[in-house]
Chains A and B, each alone.
Chain A
Amino acid sequence: MNAPAAEQVDDDLWSAIGDPTRRRMLDLLLSEGEGTATTLSRRLPVTRQAVAKHLVVLDRAGLVRGRPAGREKRYQVDDAQLARAVAQLSSVGAAWDARLQRIKRIAETVQRTRRDPKHTQDQQD
């Protein structure tokens, strides 16, 4: 049977990526390469303080990495961790595809074994 690895949703990762503002931030960081709470807040309808808090959440989930830059931190996306999040999401769907194929095969086999004795009998009649 298949392992549940694909299913084991990493709570931190998913909740980090689950917030629309944080996803906007990831997009901005991806397209611009890097950013600080100040530069990101200029592009978003939220305060610098709010952006800073979101960055902490993203950092904790490993989705961004920051390095000191003056009084602030300069952040960039951790490609490997983001890819991991994307892989988790798409693998959940793929896992169900495989399960449904097995359900189909099993049900059709059961159906055939139930039909066949009857068919044999019909022919004898």
Chain B
Amino acid sequence: MEFGTIQREIYVEAAPEVVFEVVSSPEHVTEWWPDEARYEAVPGSTGEIVFGERDAGGTVMGFTVVDARPPRTFSFRWTHPVGETAVEGNSLLVTFELTPSGGGTLLKMTESGFREMGWEAAVLEEQYKEHISGWDLHLPRLAPHAETLAAGS
């Protein structure tokens, strides 16, 4: 388990141009993620995303476009307070990489910054092997409880 970075890959039966629009344009992003999104899909654009209702206890977070190269790469930082400059340490970095594959697109998502925000990967280095076996031992015991908690959150 690598907790410093999350990586996912999914195959989409759509052209990279279409997938790029869906992962980058605020109109589409609100279809799969926040309730509101204000930014321009160009590098350096700063904006915000809103979960829930802005004026009714919703959560407003900063959103800064890092890179936008259609139809191959779109990356942004989020979770920093609105108005603050997004840097390593106050935000998470999400990168979408699109690769044409067959008639569709292989979409790769990477989210990193957990380590910089205080989370050191629980894995990695050889010298932590002993420690890892400890976690592996204890995680199964915790899993059922964790699921209950997650379901209730």
CA distance in complex: A23, B34 (Å)? 34
Binary CB contact string for chain A from 27 to 65 against chain B (1 if under 8 A, 0 otherwise): 100110000000000000000000000000000000000
Asked whether A96 and B131 contact (CB < 8 A) given A23-B122, A87-B147, the answer is: no
Interface size class of A (residues with CB under 8 A): 35 or more
Q: Is the interface of B mostly helix, strand, loop or mixed?
A: mixed
Closest chain-B Cβ to A28's Cβ sits at a distance in Å of 8
CA distance in complex: A3, B61 (Å)? 12
Q: Enumerate chain A residues within 8 angstroms of B51, measured Cβ to Cβ.
A: 1, 3-4
Are A83 and B118 in contact, with the CB atoms below 8 A? no
Are A17 and B119 in contact, with the CB atoms below 8 A? yes
Are A107 and B131 in contact, with the CB atoms below 8 A? no
Contact of B146 with A by CB under 8 A: yes
Interface size class of B (residues with CB under 8 A): 35 or more
- Of the candidates A4, A17, A103, the one whose C-beta lies within 8 Å of that of B107 is A103
Asked whether A6 and B153 contact (CB < 8 A) given A19-B120, A27-B135, A111-B14, the answer is: yes
- Of the candidates B31, B61, B118, the one whose C-beta lies within 8 Å of that of A18 is B118
Asked whether A87 and B153 contact (CB < 8 A) given A102-B31, A106-B32, the answer is: yes
Of all chain A residues, the one with the shortest Cβ separation from B122 is: A23
Q: Lowest 3 CB-CB distances: which A-B pairs, in order?
A: A15-B118, A27-B134, A111-B14
Binding site for B on A (CB under 8 A): 1-9, 11, 14-15, 17-20, 23-24, 27, 30-31, 79-80, 82-84, 86-87, 89-94, 96-97, 99-104, 106-108, 110-111, 114
Q: List 5 A-B contacts (CB under 8 A).
A: A9-B117, A79-B145, A86-B146, A103-B32, A106-B22
Known: A92-B111, A103-B107. 7 other contacts (CB 8 A): A4-B59, A18-B115, A18-B118, A79-B142, A100-B8, A107-B12, A107-B22
